[in-house]
Structures are given as structure tokens and as C-alpha cells.
Amino acid sequence: MAALTATTPTRAGVVTSGAAVAASDTIAVAILGAHGAFLEIINGNASPDSMTISDASTTVTGAAAAANAPSVTNATSKIFFISPKQADPSTGLVTITHSVTTTVTYKLYPLV
């Protein structure tokens, strides 16, 4: 399991090439803060990346929310909003799993 590192944009701009994903990654609630973050997955692999993004939040009726299970098509990228409410209250982490990792990178931008 690898802890994802965030890049905080500045007015002058920040250069980021992204970083490699692992089979299982985590985002700490401390990075998400009160507003959450945008997670961009860049899939340079020849296969789609079937992902799971954990969600420990509850619906308005109190039912457990379902984990998000998106797919990032090969040679494309997608951006996801990660809410601090998705973090597991016991660990303080949101977990992201990937079906492929070779040439798959991420960029994480906290909303401050």
C-alpha cells in the first residue's frame, strides 16, 4: 500500500509529471482537509484500469455508501473528486485499488 502525495497548485504554477500508482494506494484525510481533493489517473497502459475507490460515508438515510468502481480506459485519463467523508473513520484513509499499474500514474490536488 502506498500513500499518495499531493501537489498544491500555486499562483505561479507547479510542474508535476505525476507519480506511479501501486496496486493499492491510500489518501490520508489530512491531505483531503475540509474540502477534499481532485485525483487524476493517467493510464498509459495498453489495458483499462479497473479501479475501486473506497467510501466510508453514509447516505442521507444512514445506509452505507457503495464504493466507486470506475474504469480508466487505456491511453486516457480521468479526474475524480475525493471527499473527506469517504475516509474510513478508524484509519483516516481513502483506499484506491488498481487492476493495472504499469505506466499508470496519478496527480493529486487538494482543494484548499
Give the pLDDT score at 67. Answer: 85
pLDDT exceeds cutoff 80 at 1? no
Share in percent of the chain as helix, strand, coil (round to 5): 5, 40, 55
Domain ranges of the chain: 2-110
Residue 95: strand pairing partners: 26
Q: Can you give the pTM of this predicted structure? A: 0.93
Average pLDDT over residues 10-16: 93
Return the number of other C-beta atoms located less than 10 Å from residue 76's C-beta: 13
Residue with cell 475525493: 82
Q: What would the pLDDT profile of 60-102 be if each residue is shown by its tens digit?
A: 888 888 889 999 999 999 999 999 999 999 999 999 999 999 9
CATH code that applies to domain 2-110: 2.60.290
> How much is the average pLDDT of 47-52?
97
Q: What is the pLDDT of residue 62?
A: 84
**Residue 27 per-residue DSSP state:** E
